[in-house]
């Protein structure tokens, strides 16, 4: 299980800090999970993010949710990789108060 503090992947302005490589790939995946999990207005048929770890093309969608303690949890239904993300609130990808254009 991956236990992630999202701020470890962000710079002082709140943007994704890693510029390339595996850390950038992981950070991009994590912010996609945050956006999906915190978008309470999205339709139920909107698929989750694509798993960063599972190599097969089909069926690598990640399920997301938020616990009572405001921790985002995610799990790849194909490979079983899972994790939780803390300190995601009030980042650019926190859509819990509506999309930025609202």
Residue 33 lies in a domain: yes
Name the nearest CA neighbour of 2 among 30, 22, 37: 30
How many structural domains are present in the chain?
1
Pick from 17, 4, 27, 6: nearest CA to 94: 6
Is residue 93 in a domain? Answer: no
Q: Per the domain annotation, does 22 fall within a domain? A: yes
- Does 101 score more than 60 pLDDT? no
Answer yes or no: is 98 within a domain: no
**pLDDT mean over 46-50:** 88
Domain span at 68: 2-86
Residue 59: pLDDT band (50, 70, 90) is low
Res 102 pLDDT > 60? no
pLDDT at position 45 is 84
Residue 99 lies in a domain: no
Q: Is residue 100 part of a domain?
A: no
């Amino acid at each position: 299980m991956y236990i992630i503090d999202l701020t470890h992947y962000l710079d002082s302005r709140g943007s994704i800090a890693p510029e390339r490589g595996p850390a950038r790939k992981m950070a991009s995946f994590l912010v996609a999970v945050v956006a999906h999990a915190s978008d309470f207005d999205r339709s139920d048929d909107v698929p989750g993010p694509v798993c960063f770890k599972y190599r097969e093309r089909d069926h690598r969608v990640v399920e997301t949710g938020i616990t009572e303690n405001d921790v985002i949890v995610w799990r790849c239904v194909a490979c079983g990789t899972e994790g939780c993300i803390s300190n995601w609130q009030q980042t650019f990808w926190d859509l819990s108060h509506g999309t930025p254009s609202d």
